[in-house]
Amino acid sequence: MRAVVLLSGGLDSTTTLAMAKMEGFELFALTFDYGQRHRVELDRARDIAKNFGTVDHQIIRIDLRQFGGSALTDSIAVPTHRNQVNIEIPVTYVPARNTIFLSFCLAYAEVKDASDIYIGVNAVDYSGYPDCRPKFITAFETLANLATKAGVEGKNKIKIHSPLIKLSKGEIIQKGVELGVDYGMTHSCYNPGNKGIACGACDSCYLRLKGFQDAGVKDPIEYTKNH
């Protein structure tokens, strides 16, 4: 029983990896080097994949900057934290990102004869990103079973798992702590300083810190700014 897990090196995907492991899957991790500004994310993903005993870990290089269109891959400023969960699509949205990521997961799954794909999208994301919504995941699963040999031949029906999709950040962290995840390995910051230390001020740090607060757990990582 094999699963492909999308692994960014962040808190959500690492928790997702732990959940797939708990289900008893042999793990095949897939990470994208898509012109992120911070290489620290890739290093963390490598360490995490190793730590979880993945059978294989592939890093796919694609350059989404070629099209432009997002603060995460463009040189425009990343917004600092918001006072409320956004109801609009955030500027950090990368066009069709999860469609592209899941497509590669599907190719990887087909080559490795895996029928399960895990993606760590969650409720906080899907309030803002169109491609984090449950109906997007369902539509991708339908597509996946039409797109592949496995689907046509009727064996190994592909299943897309998004186990965090209805969880808040706090609930994700509680779940991960139960599974023994070491969140000290994970990286979330959009604007890290020297040695990859988290800024504590960007959107992503804000949501992470609030999550740990809600979970009643101390965030083990270091921050530039005190909280």
Instruction: Quote the least distance from Cβ 35 to a copy of itself, whole Å.
Output: 12
Rounded to the nearest whole angstrom, what is the least distance from the CB of residue 30 to a copy of itself in the complex? 10
Q: Closest separation between CB of residue 144 and a copy of itself, Å?
A: 8
- How do strand 2-6 and strand 159-161 relate by DSSP bridges? unpaired
Minimum distance of a copy of itself from residue 184's CB (angstroms)? 30
- E-state strands within 34-181: 56-61, 116-118, 159-161
In terms of CB distance, is 61 or 195 closer to a copy of itself?
A: 61
Half-sphere exposure of 203 (CA within 13 A, CB side): 17
Euclidean distance between the first and the last CA atom of the chain, given in angstroms as a whole number: 43
User: Which residues sit opposite 31 in a β-bridge?
Assistant: 59
Q: Which of 110, 116, 203, 219 binds a copy of itself (CB under 8 A)?
A: 110
**x/- binding map, residues 69-108, to a copy of itself, per CB under 8 A?**
x-------------------x---xxxxxxxx-xxx-xxx
Distance of CA 175 to the CA centre of its chain: 16
The reply to whether 147 sits near a copy of itself by the rule CB under 8 A is yes
Closer of 145 and 174 to a copy of itself (Cβ): 145
Strands (E), 77-193: 116-118, 159-161
DSSP 195: G
Q: Binding a copy of itself by CB under 8 A: which of 114, 119, 144, 205?
A: 144
Contact 6, 101 (CB under 8 A): yes
Write down the least CB distance from residue 120 to a copy of itself, Å.
Answer: 17
In the complex, least distance from residue 73 CB atom to a copy of itself, rounded to whole angstroms:
11
Contact map string, positions 162 to 201, toward a copy of itself, x by CB under 8 A: ----------------------------------------
Please report, as ranges, the residues that interact with a copy of itself according to CB under 8 A: 58, 60-64, 66-69, 89, 93-100, 102-104, 106-108, 110-112, 130-131, 133, 135-136, 139-140, 142-144, 146-149, 151-153
